[in-house]
Structure 1
Amino acid sequence: MSDADPKVPHRGHELLDVLARLGGSARNAQIAQVMDVSEETVRRLVKTLAKQGKVERVHGGTYLRGSQDAPMYSGALEQQPKEKTRIAKGVLELIRDGMTLFINVGSTTTYVAEQLRERRDLTIVTNSISTVASLADHNGSRVFLAGGEVSRSERGCFGRATEDFARRFAYDVLVIGADAMSPELGVLAANPREAELTRALLGNATRVIVAADYRKFSAIAPCIAAPLEAITDLVTDAAPPDALQDALDRCGVATHLAAKSGRITTRTPPPQDVGHSNTNRKTLSFPTEVS
């Protein structure tokens, strides 16, 4: 950093640089990964920097003092961290070494990216800056940032350039989050650009995994990201309401419950006349957005 404060230790300046590169805020686990130190070291540095007024601490993370996206980030970070960790571990069980994945922007998918450090030789395409920070140059994995217009608050890239780049790959797995889920409309997003990116990639993936905590079952959001027929798996921390579970079963979606005990149970839907082939997803149609 320029104009270095002599009161801040060298490692402290490095941590501030990392936060700046990650858009002003990050989970402590991510900071530790980028700096190649332990989370305990990060916590000690953060404590010192907080006393000096350089950063603010939240549960499990840190943001630069004055960062424009701090309120949004700290709110998302503090919501259900244990549940999101369980969900992320559930997603990890569905991923094998050497797979090609797309991971979208989101707080839950950030947890997924951290868990995926246990896998090797992955090819990861993502529009999430946080995912890049977690997985780049680790365990032989290759990470591609689908660049486009950068949203600091979302900590990711969106737009036509992002979609065009991401469409160049064939994916074993598409990992997406959700702002809400509906029996009738499927996976919903608050950000229309996020929904558009997800829709653009549904036909490129053999498997589509939704990682969503129980709060999303009663939430609302305006944009359709994926109908239930387009997804293959839901990983969550609590059983969906009956209406949603019935719809998931009808659409052939496997529901994986990540319990507090760490056990993951899977509800396998009954056989359906129409399966989840890549060809089926390519035939899905959506209304065209008018710019």
Structure 2
Amino acid sequence: MMWRKVPVVVNLSDVFKHLSYRDEIMSELRRNRIFDILRVSGRVNLLDLANELQISSETVRRDLKRMADEGVVEIVRGGATLPDVLREAAFQHCLNLNADLKRKIAAAAATLVENGDTIMIGGGSTTCYLALALRDHRNLRIITNSVDAARILGSRGENEVHAVGGRLDDYLGSTVGVVAVENIRRYSAEKTFFSVGAVDASIGLTSDTADEVACWQAMIEAGSQAIALIDSSKFGQRCLFKCASFEEIDTIVADRSPDPALAASFAAHKIEFINADGSGTAEKSQSRIHRANSSKVREQA
């Protein structure tokens, strides 16, 4: 039996339409991701976006240009930022997002603070709730780059508030930049409280905001105990910039228990886990100073 070849007719117009439709979908997905990052960080860097999305800088420029034409972003040197009206709405969105969980976390974290403590408070929506939860504490010395935390706790006459100088980021509601980091490094505190964008069992704590990460890292170095406030929506997630490894963290306060993989990472690094709903805690950790001293004793032995 002889087989006869049948010619296949391809309509190039249909092919191009399909490719164009696919490209439009991919572009929309990228723009949505860019906007999600902007809602968290308030500003994006072109090269960082290219690395995050694994696309060329030119493609990022085209996406940002289109978003600017739609009024969603404002183009600035090296990247883009949210327009003022959206920046204010985005910050309010962060405060309102999982607000009840953040209040629970803040209330649990406040029990770790004693009257007379010297503490550091990083920027972020969850730490704003911590400042509110600390209003009845007395004789605190607070070092913070959070404008709201400084205002809330500074109104209490018994407290001594050191507001860290630097470049004010009105979206983050905190001071950031090189000057802020250098100012933070001049201080020493018993406890550092901060919140992050995500926590993953294999990489640690991350965030999408490079400027704020730099401030958190300086605070972790300056404090004897590092206490992270993390709502459970951030479990198992990753952001662009690494904030801290598990070795640097003493305590994590969250609204529910983590999954087994994350819980195993906490336990392996002797991180105290405090469940804000009161259903139990993991093994308590030693502070990094105590860990370091223990290591020295073992080495001498």
Query: Does structure 1 conserve the Cα–Cα contact (< 8 Å) formed by 2:145 and 2:165?
Result: yes
Q: 1:200 to 1:173 in 2, by over 3 A?
A: same
- Higher share in helix: 2
Per the alignment, residue 172 of structure 1 pairs with 190
Q: Find 2:104's aligned residue among 52, 75, 86.
A: 86
Unaligned runs of 5+ in 2: 1-83, 294-301
- Give the greater-gyration-radius structure (CA): 2
Structure 2 residue 283 is matched with structure 1 residue 268: yes
Q: With structure 2 as the length reference, what TM-score do the two structures score?
A: 0.66
Structure 1 position 277 matched with structure 2 position 292: no
Q: C-alpha offsets along residues 35-77 of structure 1, whole Å, 9 cap, x if unaligned?
A: xxxxxxxxxxxxxxxxxxxxxxxxxxxxxxx745222022112
Given that 1:203 and 1:279 are in contact with CA atoms closer than 8 Å, whether structure 2 keeps it comes out as: no
The residue that corresponds to 1:248 in the other structure is 266
- Could you say which residue in structure 2 is the equivalent of 1:162? 180
Q: 2:170 maps to which residue? A: 152
Moved over 4 A (4+): 278-281
SS at match of 1:265: coil
> Does residue 126 in structure 1 map to residue 144 in structure 2?
yes
Distance 1:113 1:278 in 2: 27
Kindly state the Cα deviation for residue 111 of structure 1 after the two structures are TM-superposed: 0.4
Post-superposition shift, 1:278?
Answer: 6.9
For the 8 Å contact 1:90–1:264, the answer to whether it is kept is no
Q: Calculate the TM-score normalised by the size of structure 1.
A: 0.68
Contact 2:95 2:126 in 1 (8 A): no
RMSD: 2.0
Query: Tell me, what secondary structure is at the counterpart of 1:198?
Result: helix
- Measure how far apart 1:82 and its partner are: 1.0
Local SS of the residue matching 2:288? coil
Matched-pair contact (CA < 8 Å) for 1:180–1:221: yes
CA contact (8 A) 2:253 2:276 kept: yes
Deviations 1:168-213 (A, max 9, x none): 1111100010100011221111111111122223222111100010
- Is the contact made by 1:198 and 1:225 (CA closer than 8 Å) also made in structure 2? yes
Q: Deviations over 1:6-39 (max 9, x none)?
A: xxxxxxxxxxxxxxxxxxxxxxxxxxxxxxxxxx
Letter in 2 for 1:226: A
The CA deviation at 1:243 is 0.9
Match of 2:119 in 1: 101
Unpaired runs of 5+ residues, structure 1, are: 1-65, 282-291
Deviation for aligned residue 1:277:
1.8
Amino acid of the structure 2 residue aligned with 1:163:
V
**What residue in structure 1 maps to residue 296 of structure 2?**
none
2:63 paired residue number: none
Deviation at 1:161, TM superposition (A): 1.0
Shift of 1:137: 3.4
* Correspondence 1:114 to 2:129: no
- Report percent identity of matched pairs: 23
Are the structure 2 counterparts of residues 250 and 139 from structure 1 closer, same or farther at C-alpha, using a change threshold of 3 Å?
farther
Question: What's 2:156 paired with?
Answer: 138
Change (3 A) 1:204 1:279: farther
